[in-house]
Every structure is written in C-alpha cells, then in structure tokens.
Structure 1
Amino acid sequence: MKKVFGQHKPFFVFLFKFLMFYLLITMLYKFFLNSYSIERKEVDAITTHVANQTKNTFLFFGKDCKLFKHEFEASFKLIYKGKYVARIVEGCNAISVIILFASFVFAFSSNFKKALLFMLIGAMLIYVLNILRIVLLCVSLYYYPQFEHLLHGTVFPLVIYGVVFLLWIIWVTKFSVYGTRVDKK
C-alpha cells in the first residue's frame, strides 16, 4: 500500500486537496443558502443579483425586459419582449461551476496567493459569461422555443464548461508548479 501511495503521491495529494476544498466551500455555500426560507419562497442574494444583472444587460442593449419575483417558487420570471421566456433559479447563478473551477485550481496550487488571484479572475470571468449565457439563452428561447432542451441542456453548458476547461489548462500549463516544472526540463 505504501508503495502504491508513494508511487502516485501527486495524484493522491491533488485528490485530497480537491475534495477538501470542494467539500468545504460547498458546505459554506449550502449554509448560506439555508439562511433563506424555502417556505417563504425567498431567493438568495447571489441569484437575485444574477437576475438583476441579466435584466440590466438587456436594458443596456436597449432590449425590452422585465423581471418579476415568481409567485409560487424561489425564482424570478424573465419577460422578454412581452413573453415569459425563462425563470432564473439558484442553479442559474454559476456558483457550483465557480466552486468546481476554484477547487481544481486550489488542488493544483503550491502558491496560495497566485492561486487565489487566478481563482478570483476566473470566477469573475465565469460570472460575466454566465450573465451573457442567460441573456443569449433568453433571446434564443424567444425565437426558437422548440430548441429549449438543446440550448439549455447542451449548447450553453458546453460553452461555460468549455471556458472552465480552458482556464484549467491555462492554470496548469502557465501558472501552477506542475506546468513550470515541465517548462524547466
């Protein structure tokens, strides 16, 4: 057993760091979410901010958009050009994607300051791309409602996760200790 662990120590260290960071941040996020009442259909502050930023993005581009608190659930209704096209729920705020992204960066880090800076920049990029994703999804659903499943379930998640994957590649090859070791050989 010691031989296996010793032989694959970098992998086990990565796995341990990833799981510990992921579980810790996920638990903190769940604790945050639990401070909102499901019975009163309260929407958490992050999702509320994402919904408002989405509306403001539409308005910035001169597009007709209205946002209403959903009367039956903890979400917002987004009305585009007078048509109810989408609801914005907690899962739309990209926090789970940001946690996954940050966990990977942390697991592949040796310098916490450098990792934290990359995590913050990456999180901001993911956040902004997520707002644009929601806007483009709403416009697409307005014109092509028959493609809702494809757009919401495949195309737009592929874009977000594709960007996260590219950020991971950049982190590992350009900024992490593992990438710099390869460059020095």
Structure 2
Amino acid sequence: MQSNKTVIFFLIKFFGVYFLLFLIYSVYLSKNQKTEGVFACAPITNTVAKQTQFLVNNMGYSAKIEQNTNEVSINLFINNKLVARVIEGCNALSIIILFISFIVAFASNFKATFLFIVIGSLLIYFANIFRIAIIAIALYKYPEYQYFLHDILFPVLIYGITFLLWFVWVQKFSKLKK
C-alpha cells in the first residue's frame, strides 16, 4: 500500500508541476511570439539562435541568422547556405520543463532540489546550443544524412543527457535514496 501511495504522490507532483510550467510557458509564447502577418519568434528562441550563431562562428564557419518571413522560425545559414530552422521546440524549454517536473516529483531538501534544477537546466540548455551548432555544421557538410542527424542522433543526445541527470538525481540526492 505504501508503494502505491509513493507512485500516486509522484504522479500528482510530476503532472502538477508539468502542467503548471507548461501553462506558464504557453502564456509566455502567446505573449511573445507573433504567428500571423509579420512572424516573430519568442525572445528565448531568438537567444538560442544567436548563441548558436556565435558558437558556429567560433568553430570556424560563417554563420548568419534571420527571422523567417513565412513562419515562426529563425533561419540559420552557414556560408550563406540555409542549413536549419530554429523553431520554438529547439529552445530546450520543453525538455527543461520535463526535467524540472521529474526533479520536483522526487524532491529532496529545498536547497539540493533548487541547485540541481538550476545546474541541470543550464546543462541541458547549453548542451542544446551545442547540439544545434553541431547539427547545423553536420547538415552543411552532410545534407543527405538530415533524417538520421535531426530525427535520431541528436534527440537521443539531448534526451540522454536529461535521463542521465534524472538518474544521478534519484541515485544521489532524492528522498527515495534515503
């Protein structure tokens, strides 16, 4: 009976936090991106695109970004060749929301939980910037592997990092470990 309560309590906390953060994020998107007429991405997506451009430029390529005029995305060019579109799903916030929901559902003391959320979220965020830069360069060099790179390899990497962080949290810090 106790294990059922633990599972139910986990699910309530997980989905409660997830839906609350998802609602906040949805409101943020509705207030900050334009989906009709003149398209504009939310500031976080713009920031991710700019940081990706910066990273690609520092890896020896000439990167440029510009708002797509036909949809809510930012075009990423390498050496004047369009290689990718940075969309809302590329900013890692959906994954960070999932990450935070899991950590809160297995919360430890406030300080440890808060610090792990901040550090883990930043790790996911910056790993995502690196992921977009690498996939852009790979698509520039090997466009024939677009499906494998975009749909298989790079999602496995970002979700793999998130899963690894969850594993570390449960094994080292959560109340369940004690």
The residue aligned with 1:125 is 123
The residue aligned with 1:150 is 148
Superposed displacement of residue 7, structure 1: 4.8
Deviations 1:7-56 (A, max 9, x none): 51111110100000000000000000000321131210100000000001
1:49 aligns with 2:52: no
Size of the aligned set, in residue pairs, is 176
Deviations 1:60-94 (A, max 9, x none): 22321111111111111111122110011111001
The alignment partner of 2:84 has SS state of strand
The residue aligned with 2:23 is 27
The one-letter amino acid of 1:178's match is L
Q: How does 1:52-67 map to 2 (within 5 A)?
A: 52-67=50-65
The residue aligned with 1:74 is 72
The residue aligned with 1:159 is 157
Superposed displacement of residue 112, structure 1: 2.5
The alignment partner of 1:74 has SS state of coil
For residues 82 and 70 of structure 1, the distance between their equivalents in structure 2, rounded to whole angstroms, comes to 15
The residue aligned with 1:135 is 133
The alignment partner of 1:164 has SS state of helix
The residue aligned with 2:170 is 172
Task: Determine if contact 2:49/2:74 at 8 Å carries over to the other structure.
Answer: yes
Task: Determine if contact 2:45/2:87 at 8 Å carries over to the other structure.
Answer: yes
The residue aligned with 2:8 is 12
The one-letter amino acid of 1:69's match is Q
The residue aligned with 1:104 is 102
1:37 aligns with 2:34: yes
The alignment partner of 1:8 has SS state of helix
Deviations 1:153-184 (A, max 9, x none): 110000011111110010001011111x2xxx
Q: TM-score, normalised by structure 2?
A: 0.95
Deviations 1:90-133 (A, max 9, x none): 11001000000110000001322211110110000001100000
Superposed displacement of residue 146, structure 1: 1.2
CA pair 83-7 structure 1, distance change in 2 beyond 3 A: closer
Calculate percent identity across the aligned residue pairs: 42
CA pair 58-17 structure 1, distance change in 2 beyond 3 A: same
The alignment partner of 1:43 has SS state of coil
CA pair 7-119 structure 1, distance change in 2 beyond 3 A: closer
The one-letter amino acid of 1:93's match is N
> Any stretches of 5+ residues in structure 1 without a counterpart?
none
